[in-house]
A and B are shown apart, each in its own frame.
Chain A
Amino acid sequence: MLDLLKKREFTLLGIIILLLIAVSLRSPYFLNIENLNDILNDTAILMMVAIGQLMVIVTGGIDLSVASGTALTGMSVALLNQHFPGIPILIIILISIAIGFLLGSFNGILVSKANIPPIITTLGTMSIYRGFVFVLSGGKWVSAHEMTDSFRELPRGTVFGISNLLLIALLTVIIFSVFLQLTRTGREIYGVGGNKLASLYVGINVKKISYLVFALCGCIVGLAGFLWVARYASAQNETAVGFELQTIAACVIGGVSIVGGSGTILGVILGALFLGIVNNALTLVNISPFYQMAIQGFVIIAAIIVNTLVEKRNQLMMLRRRSL
């Protein structure tokens, strides 16, 4: 029990509960099933992509191109749907994952084969992918009436009262939790992030891992691109601008170490939820949504400072234990 209390995720959960109580005191509309359901639906896409970001950050990298990738995949499938309405929705989903995989692979190859640092690679591809959205669309939007009904309705359809969007997010969470916790490759991802050289010596294919995380992150980004465009029923050039910061914020708030090696999916989900609740609460307590960006920046900085202090204390405690 004491171990549980010491865990970061538990602290974050405590902060989230305090936040929920504080907001519900200010606004009676906050704590009801419908609004909570809305919050979950609003953060579902963020949770998914943040898991992709988590894998990249755990290996010591960073992916700044996730937002542009989301926009590019979204625009591609929206155009596909507009011009070939006959394509079944399941095929469209598969295509979106495939496009995302290609975009992620491009990042991964540049990082693992050409040895370009992840931040530079994805800084470059961020503007390349965003530029191609413009090239594809010619600057035009794809709006709701140009999409087929099945395309638009997919994220909103429900099974037992839970939206498909949330179910897909849940499925992603389960798949990647199993992958990261229980498979050999999943553990190798943490190994590479913890100590690259040591992983190399114990026989981990470091290059393969650093490619794989970008490719997998790309797959999630592709799926998210479809869901984003279908949910908001419009594909634009500015789709998901600034979204990459939110995914990084969710990771950092969730206790993922920015230098790699540690971080859990549970933490990332709580981090994403925290951001979602803050955004939802802002409107309910009548604060201009323009404050959102500043609050997010403040929370990121505060969270990394806390993370670093906690890590330092843990290291100190470990040293003390050793000397005993």
Chain B
Amino acid sequence: MDKDEALTKKNRLMRLPNILMKWEVILFLIFLIVIIVNSYISPYFLDYINIMNTTFNFMEKAIVALPMIFVIICGDIDISVAGIIALCSLFMGMASASGVDTLGLIAIGLGTGLAAGFLNGFIITKFGIPAIAVTIGSMSLFRGISYAFLGDKAFTKYPESFAFFGQGYIGYTMIPFELVLFLVLAVIFGLILHRTTFGRKVFAIGNNPTAANFSGILVNRIRHIIFAVTGLMSGLASILLTSRIGSTRPNIANGWELEIITTVLLGGVAITGGKGNIFGVIIGIFLIGFLKFGMGLINVPGKVMNIAIGFLLIVAIMLPEYINKLRSEVLLAKQKK
């Protein structure tokens, strides 16, 4: 009797409109709650200029999260992105110290990122080594190179025009250049993922690489391209970050890989590959960004924020699985009847 009652209760839960069970919708509701709670806690939260300015703090990570969606849907992972950011920043700093102009710096940043990502992809696909093993190594190699060159020193001389990328606004609107750049890139990456054959192939690889291979998809070439693009976007993020803080230290962007991967997984991309979409990740990006902004306003230390992010990551993985389990239980019960 009790069991029946519990089942009907679960049944009723399942009868909620399907749209409410969608991960992006749940995420968006959490996002709204964060905004409401934040604006209740601090009067400084709901302020146009404040909100626009806080996006500076997470747009660089957001830009790396976009290609990371592809990486994780493919069933891979890239832990070296923060290392690539450090490496790009190092080379830009060295170039700037020897008098290279802004355009040259951008070329160096993007070029270094692309080369680093290409190297990752090459080792992973050429030797058939799991991405996690390779990128753990290359993360320490890339950051290690910037430690080797810089030690405890820093590059701080950058041309004045270079500052625009990380600090500039579009016209007089107070909309940061970084935000606009991210939105444009998000549209491009979203279209590629959901509206092109390349995107379909990425999903196919994530669901079953062997089957994808036998159906004529060049699995390794696509994975190689994705890792190279991830490097390129890390290079772009490095340009923005270096321009924003105006200096290069070897510990630049330390630990970012954790937050970037957390964002993507929170956005509903399955770590096992083959599942995910861009809207969830975009909501996830702003959710984490505003959560941290709110916590910052009430003086929560960064280390404690990391505890929250860590728990968020674990819960974000557990919740969809739990919902699925609930669903299949109800379906089974229905079939028995």
Contact = CB atoms under 8 A, between A and B. Distances in A.
Given A131-B303, A298-B141, A304-B137, A120 B132 contact: no
B17 interface: no
B123 interface: yes
A296 B145 CA distance: 11
A297 B141 contact: yes
Nearest to A292: B144
B231 to A, nearest CB: 15
B337 to A, nearest CB: 28
Interface in B220-256: 250, 255
B37 interface: no
B127 A128 contact: no
Interface residues of B, number: 46
Interface stretch (A12-20, A110-118, A162-170): A110-118
B139 interface: yes
Interface size grouping (class) on chain A? 35 or more
A116 B306 contact: no
A62 B123 contact: no
A301 B271 contact: no
Given A131-B306, A134-B304, A294-B147, A123 B140 contact: no
Contacts of B314: 110, 116, 120-121, 124-125
A288 interface: yes
A152 interface: no
Contacts of A298: 137, 141, 144
A314 to B, nearest CB: 14
Contact of A128 (B132, B145, B301, B310): B310
Contacts of B258: 123, 126-127
A259 B310 contact: no
B4 interface: no
Nearest to A298: B141
B77 interface: yes
Contact of B141 (A131, A288, A294): A294
A171 interface: no
A266 interface: no
Contacts of A134: 301, 303-304
Contact of B321 (A115, A124, A242, A252): A115
Contacts of A304: 129, 133-134, 137
A135 B301 CA distance: 10
Interface string B253-287: 00100100110010000011000000000000000
Contacts of A293: 140, 143-144, 147-148
A258 B130 contact: yes
A33 to B, nearest CB: 31
Interface in A206-223: none
A310 B313 CA distance: 37
Contact of A237 (B138, B303, B305, B309): B303
A160 interface: no
Nearest to B305: A131
A79 interface: no
B173 to A, nearest CB: 36
A124 B308 CA distance: 9
Given A131-B304, A288-B148, A290-B148, A245 B136 contact: yes
A127 B265 contact: no
Given A119-B77, A309-B127, A114 B318 contact: yes
B138 A120 contact: no
Contacts of B304: 131, 134-135
Instruction: Give the one of B123, B127, B139 with max A CB within 10 A.
Output: B127
Q: Which of A117, A134, A139, A293 has the most B CB atoms < 10 Å from its CB?
A: A293
20 contacts: A117-B272, A117-B317, A120-B314, A125-B314, A128-B311, A131-B304, A131-B307, A134-B304, A245-B136, A249-B140, A252-B133, A252-B137, A290-B148, A290-B150, A291-B147, A294-B148, A297-B139, A297-B143, A298-B137, A301-B141
Interface of B: 77, 123, 127-130, 132-134, 136-145, 147-148, 150-152, 250, 255, 258, 261-262, 265, 271-272, 301, 303-307, 309-311, 313-314, 317-318, 321
Interface of A: 62, 110, 114-117, 119-121, 123-128, 130-135, 139, 237, 242, 245, 248-249, 252, 258-259, 288, 290-298, 300-301, 304-305, 308-309
Given A127-B309, A135-B307, 6 more contacts: A117-B271, A120-B314, A258-B133, A291-B147, A293-B143, A294-B148
